[in-house]
């Protein structure tokens, strides 16, 4: 399933929130992302339909294995790109903001090259 940038952002947010909180609900996503309740509700429906998340009867949102894999991939891209940008002198907030945009569009080839550079740098430290 081809996923839009917004879907990836939701998955990444659910992943991050699930690491901070015992349970994640739609209202937590609303607060974190600053989106309206109807927008989040619609997105959760789409993610549930795509089998990226499960929503319990009490409204708890959890990532499926498929959703977690996708969220972790996006989050790794975000982290690597932000770190690389900061390393070349970009301010932290700008690097984070830019990484958030780039992570959804960068090719696998380019990302793997960045990751290799980062891993080589860490080994040489």
Q: What average pLDDT does range 11-40 have in this prediction?
A: 95
Pick left, alpha or beta for residue 56 (phi over 0 → left; psi -120 to 50 → alpha; otherwise beta). Answer: beta
Angle of helix 26-33 versus helix 5-20 axis, rounded to 10: 110
Phi then psi dihedrals of residue 109, to 5 deg: -60, -50
- For residue 1, the model assigns a pLDDT of 46
Residue ranges, comma separated, of all CATH 1.10.10.10 domains in the chain are: 5-69
One CATH from 1.10.10.10, 3.40.50.1000, 3.40.50.11540, 3.40.50.300 for 5-69: 1.10.10.10
Helix (H) or strand (E) holding 61: strand 61-63
- For residue 3, the model assigns a pLDDT of 65
- For residue 6, the model assigns a pLDDT of 86
As its CATH architecture, domain 72-123 has Orthogonal Bundle (1.10)
């Amino acid at each position: 399933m081809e996923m839009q940038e917004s879907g990836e952002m939701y998955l990444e947010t659910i992943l991050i929130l699930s690491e901070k909180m015992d349970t994640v609900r739609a209202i937590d996503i609303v607060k974190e992302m600053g989106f309206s309740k109807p927008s989040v509700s619609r997105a959760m429906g789409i993610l549930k339909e795509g089998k990226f998340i499960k929503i319990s009867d009490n409204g708890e949102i959890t990532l499926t294995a498929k959703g977690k894999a996708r969220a972790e991939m996006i989050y790794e891209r975000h982290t690597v790109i932000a770190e690389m940008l900061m390393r070349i002198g970009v301010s932290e907030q700008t690097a984070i903001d830019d990484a958030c945009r780039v992570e959804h569009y960068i090719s696998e080839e380019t990302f793997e090259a960045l990751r290799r550079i980062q891993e080589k740098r860490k080994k040489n430290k």
